[in-house]
Amino acid sequence: MAVRLALGSLTFPVRASRAGLPLRHRTVTLTHFPLLHLAVGADGGDEHRARGFAAEYLPPEWFDKDDSLETTT
pTM over 0.75: no
What is the spatial distance between Cα 54 and Cα 38, in angstroms, rounded to a whole number? 5
- Is the pLDDT higher at 28 or at 63? 28
Backbone angles phi, psi at 69, to 5 degrees: -90, 0
Span 47-70, mean pLDDT?
A: 78
- Please tell me the predicted confidence (pLDDT) of residue 20: 85
pLDDT in the model for residue 67: 65
> Which pLDDT value is given to residue 39?
95
Give the number of residues written for the chain. 73
